[in-house]
Amino acid sequence: MQTVNMLTQLDRLNSIGVALSAERDNNRLLEIILLGAKELTNADGGTLYTVTEDAKLKFEIMRTMSLDIAMGGTTGKAILFPPLPIYLEDGKPNINMVAAYSVINAKTVNIADAYLTEGFDFSGTRKFDEKTGYRSKSFLTVPMKNHENEIIGVLQLINAIDPQTGQIITFSESHQHLVESLASQAAVALTNHNLIEGLKNLFESFIKLIADAIDEKSPYTGGHCQRVPELTMMLAEAAIKTNEGPLKNFTMTEKEVYELKIAAWLHDCGKVTTPEYVMDKATKLETIFDRIHLIDHRFELLKTQRENAYLRKALASARSGTNVNPLQLDHEISVIKRSLEEDKNFIRKMNIGSESMQPEDLQRIKDIANYEYLNDTGHTAKFLSEDEVYNLTIERGTLTPEERMVINNHIAVTISMLNALTYPKDLQRVPEYAGGHHERMDGKGYPKGLTRDQMSIPARMMGIADIFEALTSKDRPYKKAKTLSETLNILGKMRLDNHIDPDIFDLFIREKIYLAYAERFLEPAQIDAVDVASIPGYSAS
């Protein structure tokens, strides 16, 4: 019978070891350790401590079955007891406390009766017993030593119960060996868990460091790399939960959600190679500085030169005997200056950039370019250079086609950078998710010209998140931050234009994800009333 019982315990020890290897949640892992030890020894109570960096024993889990005490771990009930010092204030080892003694001496302590044992301070235990009516008797305290011979915790069990009589008994030698074996496995499992969590935290911190560096690189895109992941996760969560529409059967595991989160944080990592003078180009004429100021001075010079030319012409007429009317002369000079002032204001307006330019605006720029003036060398020159005309006639935004290619190249660089990394199995799709946010459903996007059918749903989510954040962002140099209604109207037109995914767009509107995002990240003035029925392309069904 004893042999059968031992085999059963060994089998249970093996099962607990397997569970320890598979568990990824730290609180659950600690609970498995303590509850497994209690089960193996039929102990009434137990405590699991971890060793802190400042050499103290922190209470992690407490269980006492007969008193219905369950604290720490997944219970949600905090353990308010202060950590136990392993060393006293004078630096001496705290050998009077059995848990600290076990750590200091790296040995198991098996006590038959705490009240009769000398050498340890059980005064706190006695006070607890007096308060609760409990009788703390047998103790088994086992240090948890990992594969690097470091003690990372202590497993302490209280009151072994005889399953036949229900009486408190001493922890047997076989129980001690079982718990020591469990403690060893548990220490390795905890160390591996902490190592994995540490590497994961380092990985995430490095990713966020890259995102922060990109946002810091340009004052005009600050926060973009942080806000896009937030919106992407909101879309993913809504898609997983929805019970209607084409996405009702869409699911993602916890690991897949994490994979998408990492991709969202890295979606613009290629911008580390994008020159600031292109990324930050606030106006059409901006290079290192905004050349509009040179043109302003040129206009003032041209005003003076035309006025002087007109005055010289009037003076020549007066010398030839022709009467000159001073009032008429002043009026005509004012007309010349006013016309040039209007031209100057027009050029300044065109320099700001817009979503479109009219043909007559393009022609007027070319006409102004043909004005002539005397440059600083005294030679006649065209008023605007070819490069200035080329930039001022940009029909949308502030970037020339060449500069647009430089900007667009960031996604190719992103894909190249991400493809160069070696990923664990659960992160294999990061390059695909991160690299698809500038593709279009009709295949007219970049860099690969993928169609909707060639893209995963998470990659399509990122496309909408990226566009919505850009439209509502208040820190872009070439546009004002748009309101919700303006943004959704533009998104609706993009949906009709087969630019963005229609199903995700409908989910975005139906679940009011736009509003939840706006309440967290937009200015109050941007959150205007939205008439869902008027949004182009939106289908509520």
Considering the domain boundaries, does residue 225 fall inside one? yes
**In a shared domain, residues 432 and 299:** no
Residues 172 and 38 in one domain: yes
For residues 261 and 336, state if they share a domain.
Answer: no
Q: Domain check: are 390 and 436 in the same one?
A: no
Is 211 domain-assigned?
no
To the nearest 10°, report the CA torsion of 382, 385, 388, 390.
Answer: 100
For 141-180, the DSSP string reads: EEEEE-TTS-EEEEEEEEEEE-TTT--EEPPPHHHHHHHH
For residues 42 and 163, the answer to whether their CB atoms sit within 8 Å is yes
In terms of domains, do 150 and 134 share one? yes
User: Domain end: 369, 398, 427, which one?
Assistant: 398
Pick left, alpha or beta for residue 290 (phi over 0 → left; psi -120 to 50 → alpha; otherwise beta).
Answer: beta
Contact 368, 384 (CB under 8 A): yes
Contact 176, 144 (CB under 8 A): no
Q: Are residues 50 and 119 in the same domain?
A: yes
Same domain for 154 and 20: yes
- pLDDT for 24 equals 64
CATH number at residue 138: 3.30.450.40
* C-alpha–C-alpha distance, residues 212 and 189, integer Å: 34
Residue 38 lies in a domain: yes
Predicted local confidence at residue 277, as pLDDT = 65
Domain count, the chain: 3
Report pLDDT for 279: 63
Say how far apart CA 257 and CA 388 lie, in whole Å: 48
Q: Are residues 388 and 411 in the same domain?
A: no
- Which of 398, 432, 447 is the endpoint of a domain? 398
Q: Are residues 148 and 191 in the same domain?
A: yes
Tell me if residue 374 falls in helix, strand or coil.
strand
**248 phi and psi, to 5 degrees?**
-65, -25
How does strand 43-51 pair with strand 109-111?
A: unpaired
CA 336 – CA 299 distance, rounded (Å): 11
Is 212 within the bounds of a domain?
Answer: no
CATH of the domain at 457: 1.10.3210.10
Q: Which residue range(s) make up the domain with 248? A: 219-274+402-534
314 three-class SS: helix
Residue 209 is assigned to a structural domain of this protein = no
Q: Given this model, what pLDDT does residue 17 score?
A: 57
Which of 398, 413, 436 delimits the end of a domain?
398
Same domain, 131 and 108: yes
Tens-digit pLDDT profile for the chain (541 aa)?
444 355 465 556 556 655 556 556 777 877 878 888 898 889 999 999 999 989 999 999 999 999 999 999 888 899 989 999 999 989 999 999 999 999 999 999 999 999 999 889 999 899 999 999 999 999 999 998 887 788 988 999 999 999 889 999 999 998 898 888 888 877 777 877 778 788 888 888 888 887 777 777 665 555 777 899 999 999 999 999 999 989 999 999 999 999 999 999 888 877 776 666 666 666 777 776 678 888 888 888 888 888 888 888 888 877 877 777 778 878 888 888 899 999 999 988 888 876 678 889 999 999 998 999 888 888 888 989 898 888 888 888 877 777 777 777 777 788 888 888 888 888 899 999 988 888 999 999 888 999 999 999 999 999 999 999 989 987 555 557 789 999 999 999 999 999 999 999 999 999 999 999 999 999 999 999 999 999 999 876 6
What pLDDT does residue 475 have? 59
Same domain flag for 112 and 6 = yes
Overall residue count recorded for the chain in this entry:
541
Helix axes 173-217, 2-22, angle to 10 degrees: 0
| 206 within a domain of the structure (yes/no) | no
pLDDT in the model for residue 406:
72
Residue 462 placed within a domain? yes
Per-residue tokens: 461: 């989510």
Give a yes or no: residue 322 inside a domain.
Answer: yes
pLDDT recorded at residue 82: 92
Residues 34 and 152 placed together within one structural domain of the fold: yes
State residue 49's pLDDT score. Answer: 93
Handedness of CA 63, 69, 74, 77 (dihedral sign): negative
pLDDT of residue 519: 94
What confidence score (pLDDT) does residue 477 get? 54
